[in-house]
Amino acid sequence: MRDRDDYYERWRDWEADFLQNEATQPEINIMSFQPLNSDLFEEDGITLKSEYRVDLKREYNRIQVIAKLAEIQLTPEKPKYEGRTWHVEGQLNEHICASALFYYSSDNITPSRLAFRQLVDPDSPQKIQYQEEYRRWLEDVFGCQDRGPAIQDIGSVLTKEGRLITFPNMLQHKVQPFELADPTKPGHQKILALFLVDPCVNIIPTANVPCQRKDWWRRAIKEEETLLGKLPLELKDDVYGMVEDFPISMKKATELRLELMDERKKFVIKRNKLFNDLWVRCSLS
């Protein structure tokens, strides 16, 4: 019995020493910069020859981009921005494949960062041989934990003024918190976002979307010499009041915007749940 106790005590001492060892990281080849092939460039040595250039307009019928302007305003009354949730841009019907964010103006805010994460193959660790019950290497090498979400944080980028950040839409990202540098003065961060639509898919462009504002439509009708335009003002109001579905009023537009925001919020929550439900599993062999 005593020999058995001694054995387990020695085992625990060995295991404690073993678990203190650092995991062996994957070998990374040292980058060596090779001289560029001069045959690839024009005489100026800078411009690529036409046959080596990537020309999306030439390779695809057309390139579609969704543009968005965003602004985060901070005031002494609201000095902190809490950040956003993890998300990818758009939904399936928008077919966004990449994003470009240009931070064109920042004033009186602390350094802000844009964080990224991605899914990893949950079955990859099962292909690696390791000591039974020793899984410390999983977090050191893959950035994940056994029976934890198959999510890998890949770092963050400082979003300073004048910086352009581009990334594929397969990465989830989120704006991290920041606040006013001087809490007695207002501050802001302004962003121009360009979302590249999958060049292999054509979505309905704004050129094919008719005017939707009821006030613009009413003004145009008034200026045209039509029978409706010649009616007395009271009858015109009656006719305009009976128009319900299209074009839409500002009130209806606001309601649709709230519906869209709610739909996107539910989509983000559902997608994040799918991210977190995919777990890493280590074999016990």
Mean pLDDT, rounded, for 132-151: 71
Mean pLDDT, rounded, for 96-124: 91
Domain boundaries defined on the chain: 54-206
Pick the CATH number of 54-206 from 2.60.120, 2.60.40, 1.20.120, 1.10.3470: 2.60.120
- For residue 206, what are its two tokens? 């704004």
pLDDT of residue 285: 42
Asked whether the CA dihedral 206, 219, 259, 99 is positive or negative, the reply is positive
Mean pLDDT score of the chain? 80
Between 44 and 178, the more confident residue is 178
Share of the chain above pLDDT 70, in %: 76
The answer to whether residue 171 scores a pLDDT higher than 60 is yes
Q: Are 152 and 117 in contact (CB under 8 A)?
A: yes
Mean pLDDT, rounded, for 211-222: 76
Between 149 and 111, the more confident residue is 111
pLDDT of residue 113: 96
pTM for the model: 0.69
Distance CA 56, CA 86 (A): 30
Share of the chain above pLDDT 90, in %: 29
DSSP type of residue 143:
S
